[in-house]
Structure 1
Amino acid sequence: MATIKVPEHVPSPAEDCEQLRKAFKGWGTNENLIISILAHRNAAQRSLIRKTYAEMHGEDLLKELDKELSSDFERIVLLWTLEPADRDAFMVNEATKRSTSNNLVIVEVACTRSPLELFKARQAYHARFKRSLEEDVAYHTSGDIRKLLVPLISSLRYEGDEVNKSIAKSEAKILHEKIANKEYNHDELIRILTTRSKAQLLTTFNHYNNEYGNAINKDLKVDPKDEYLKLLRTTIKSLIFPERHFSKILRLAINKLGTDEWALARVIATRAEIDMERIKEEYFRRNSIPLDRDIAKDTSGDYERMLLALIGHVDA
């Protein structure tokens, strides 16, 4: 459910590269031209543009963009132009640095990507940082958070629709017992959340709800200041209802005193080609205001135009 609008007749990668080259040359950068090309090409097309640009001009397009653009607009354009696996690797690396630490991003990448996408992100991390993604996550975290995040980011879940109802029933019981006893870091609880397929977990959580009269995340709402519990709840929401998770992140990003531009750019760059339509519906359902209106109210200039183009705004 992509929101980006790709034109009916897409110019060849070579033509796009010539236009981009033109946008960089002369007095000042032509930001509108950059938006009109990059915001309206899908991942495969952007990848070809980068490859062709390097062949034609002997330069990495990302480096050129980095040189020409600045601030929030630069961030969204670079994130968008990166290959999805490289983008995930970059984001997790940023999330494991002391200055930009963000465990939520690690959970997001681990739980909202397909098993193959997560595997590719780990490969890209190896190639780019000459270390494994798992070792950096383990080094950056400790205690219960490490115990949850390392298996989560290392997971290679089954992706099909097959479910085992008797396992769902018994594991719902295990989850309920551990949560009732406040054993939130129990090995069994972590094993279930980090290894079972999304379809299996959905069946388990539905059984939990029917059997014990409460959604699992309601039972986990204990201490809002407890980061581990927050990550546990985010894990469950991201695995089963990613659009709810992302619409909440967007709302928090926009509603902050001073927008959280990093969160805004991250969600839009990573979801525009996946489930942005569902996120927009959820956003409106929860906030009674369309996402594009909130973005337009909170951002400006080229940055605003790029964001609106990526979420499929009519005039962008």
Structure 2
Amino acid sequence: MSTVAVPSPPPTASEDAESLRKALQGWRADKAALIGILCRRTAAQRAAIRRAYAFLYREPLLNCFRYKLSRHHLLSVDFWKALILWTMDPAERDANLVHEAVKKKDENNILVLIEVSCTSTPDHLMAVRNIYHKLFSCSIEEDVASSPALQEPLKKMLVSLVSSYRYAGDHVDMDVAKLEAAQLSEAIREKQLHRNEVVRIISTRSKSQLRATFQKYKEDQGTDIAEDINSRCGSQFGRMLKSAVWCLISPEKHFAQVIRYSILGLGTYEDMLTRVIVSRAEIDMKQKGGVQGEVQERHDHRRRRRHLFRVQEHVAGLGRERRLKSVPPPVYAPPSPLSVRKKNVSS
């Protein structure tokens, strides 16, 4: 469900392309105009604008953004990075995020692989894989399997996740759920999460089947499977498996946690925050039960007010205007819009 507020009636793609051309002229690009156009268009409309821009001016729109990024043009690097990601087709965006993430060793980038492979529909993940192949002349599976930044057994699970094509229907086999809940319970109890059957279950079963399996696990064990993984298995593999479980059945919980982590402490992990806001804005950022709702559920009233304002304050690159379009207003407002700080406030 999209949370992008599109004007009615919207301008044509050619009109938007002409307006963008004007906004990009000169040394200082018109930030407000760029935000006002692109951040109020759906993915399909943005794709049409890119085609119209290329037809009218014989150059790709993203190349113009990248040129501005290389020169900074008085606007932040984060702004241009975020605008480039937002303007991309969703599958193209995910393919580029995966390509950057697979080169890096830290867990924040491993999470990108898990997010793309586990929150996507089967058709979207297939589209990501196809675009990745065209852009980078190799498969995602090949790059993940050969990445020196990834180690076994995590690498094995990631290869299985990115190459998966799950059944997308609602059919559930309760006998299978019972059997696999028991297998998962044994693996967690014995701290052997890397077992073949665990990787097979997580990487091949449909989301409906996994919900039934995890529910059966909770009925049998009295605790949530993600909680047990977190409390009993503190390894990197365990942390990534827990993230995969959340991304598969409760992505809003995972992304709320990523948002929280990205803005707590000293400084802000701008790339993480940008990734979440840009990728979820047209899915579940503002809808009931989505990422924003999960942020509100996981914090008491006082901390929630600060937390939501800090999301607005720190959504990377897209600026205050864009932030206010993606993230609902906090429970309270600062004394003045002009007093928005650049640094974090303590929780």
> Is TM-score (shorter-chain normalized) higher than 0.5?
yes
Which structure has greater helix proportion?
1
Q: Please tell me the residue identity of whatever aligns with 1:235.
A: A
Tell me if the contact between 1:3 and 1:273 (Cα under 8 Å) persists in the aligned partners.
Answer: yes
Local SS of the residue matching 2:298 = helix
Tell me if the contact between 2:167 and 2:205 (Cα under 8 Å) persists in the aligned partners.
Answer: yes
Local SS of the residue matching 1:182 = coil
Quote how far apart the aligned CAs of 1:305 are: 2.2
CA distance in 2, matches of 1:286, 1:265: 21
Quote how far apart the aligned CAs of 1:302 are: 5.5
Q: Please tell me the residue identity of whatever aligns with 2:86.
A: W
- Aligned residues: CA RMSD: 2.1
Q: Which residue of 1 aligns with 2:184?
A: 175
Give the structure, 1 or 2, with the largest relative contact order (CA under 8 Å, sep 6 or more).
1
Note the alpha carbon deviations across 1:243-268, whole angstroms, 9 max, x for none.
00001101111113111000010001
Aligned pairs for 1:1-316 (under 5 A) are 1-69=1-69, 70=72, 71-98=77-104, 102-140=109-147, 141-222=150-231, 226-277=235-286, 278-287=290-299, 288=301, 289=304, 292-298=308-314, 303-311=319-327
Tell me if the contact between 2:4 and 2:282 (Cα under 8 Å) persists in the aligned partners.
Answer: yes
Note the alpha carbon deviations across 1:156-208, whole angstroms, 9 max, x for none.
00001110111101111111112112111110111111100000000000000
Quote how far apart the aligned CAs of 1:67 are: 1.9
Tell me if the contact between 2:274 and 2:317 (Cα under 8 Å) persists in the aligned partners.
Answer: no
Q: Please tell me the residue identity of whatever aligns with 2:68.
A: E
Give the alignment's TM-score, normalised by structure 1: 0.94
Which ranges of structure 2 fall in alignment gaps of 5 or more residues?
A: 331-336, 338-347
CA distance in 2, matches of 1:23, 1:179: 55
Local SS of the residue matching 1:258 = coil
Which ranges of structure 1 fall in alignment gaps of 5 or more residues?
A: none
Tell me if the contact between 2:82 and 2:274 (Cα under 8 Å) persists in the aligned partners.
Answer: yes
CA distance in 2, matches of 1:267, 1:192: 26
Tell me if the contact between 1:4 and 1:311 (Cα under 8 Å) persists in the aligned partners.
Answer: no
Quote how far apart the aligned CAs of 1:10 are: 0.2
Give the alignment's TM-score, normalised by structure 2: 0.86
Report the more deviating stretch, 63-72 or 96-105.
96-105
Quote how far apart the aligned CAs of 1:16 are: 0.3
Tell me if the contact between 1:96 and 1:136 (Cα under 8 Å) persists in the aligned partners.
Answer: yes
Tell me if the contact between 1:165 and 1:203 (Cα under 8 Å) persists in the aligned partners.
Answer: yes
Q: Please tell me the residue identity of whatever aligns with 1:163.
A: V
Tell me if the contact between 1:295 and 1:304 (Cα under 8 Å) persists in the aligned partners.
Answer: no
Number of paired residues? 316
Quote how far apart the aligned CAs of 1:124 are: 0.6
CA distance in 1, matches of 2:27, 2:227: 57
Quote how far apart the aligned CAs of 1:292 are: 4.7
Report the more deviating stretch, 133-142 or 296-305.
296-305
